[in-house]
Structure 1
């Protein structure tokens, strides 16, 4: 599915995705977050994912161009990269270790992306899926240790901080496509899915074959709390028809989502289904809860 170019004086709906017409911003497409009609001249597109630009009365947000490639019937192979960032306070250095598992696209050697070299190393990354059940994922990262590479790293870290075993190190999971790697004709360091950031919570096993680490979300740490708000799943915490809720419409429902005819009987059920009835099935929802939570950048 190809993404069309932006056009002047054109009506755009919420969720429409366009590419730049004359100014092709590398690695980025733009998603309509406020519907309206575009200006007579092309806007100055932002260059960072998540940044926005106002185009007459349309607002566009920058998203990754990986969207287009993944929408094809035969997309380029997904490349999964990992970075382990040490902290001088915990591990005695601020070194960064980069590696990939080489499973996709028959990549059998080290690769370079965004100017950084990633060493090929057998890795099993499991458990990154999110669910709405209320429990944050606790992924595991199992890294081959046949040449004692990981054991040697642990020895160095534990010399600085006895028994640390890389606990507290930041793990970044980066996913891009083979066509965007350095050296490819379509190389693009901006073409990537949102980076996932995790923290090593513990070393769960170590032997001469492999070392396994259990990861945790940045908010799934002992003593860590989100300021002012509890992490409650599937129950909206906003006061109905408040500024946070933002609903001012004349469609009325009771707490069980049954239609009502008057405002006096209008009650929100505090569920996503209640939100959809008022704002629309496919529109953005100001739902004040956390069906799933994590950290990305």
Structure 2
């Protein structure tokens, strides 16, 4: 997939760093794409100190050339925020960490979901299974809800993507999530997950996600990827890498093993066939990359 991406003629174009102020010495990374809330564009971002994993998710609004915390907005003790809209409501979520119940000095994690008419009215409504990140929801054209999962361990190895559907958010349970059928996409040495789900014009689902692996020295390599899924048949296309670290501007890294990490945050599609990829870079900053719309071909 990396070789196929590097051989493409039409690839990334303009790139820029996204500047955040008002958070002291904290880095802001693993952001969402901008979305509208109460008539204003907002970005959700993971804010944390360079030498810490204690993260807060804050909501930022643009002021001149930088993004600053939105006054009065809630702050969540989460990592890696995301959003969608279901039933006319904002659905927001992130990863909650907590002490591992079996391993001393280790952390476990789960995905937490909130919903409400707007950011100010968000309230929790679902908690995913322990040890599962990258759990995502999407409202399908027929009114049902697609559920993308990512178990690890005995079922998912280092992390594989599953998919199932429910008729209503009230039907979500940890058991249903854990039993979602898995797609056959990753080798045993790879892992990945969904970051943002797009409903395409023909009713298919465009998935923005990531694929990752370790090198022989323990370094992590994360690449933004996409694929399309037919929610009626369950058929899905092969994954494709759509960017890599060297497409972005040079910058800091949280740790040496995270230099080659691009964590897909969100994608804004434009009518001219281009798209903007918002991403966390090296677990230390956020950047925006202009690319050809990777989902356009699935709509033809």
Q: Same fold (TM over 0.5)?
A: no
TM-score (normalised: structure 1): 0.22
TM-score (normalised: structure 2): 0.22
User: Of Structure 1 and Structure 2, which has the larger fraction of its residues in strand?
Assistant: 2
Of structures 1 and 2, the one scoring higher in RCO (CA 8 A, sep 6+) is 2
**Bigger-Rg structure (1/2):** 1
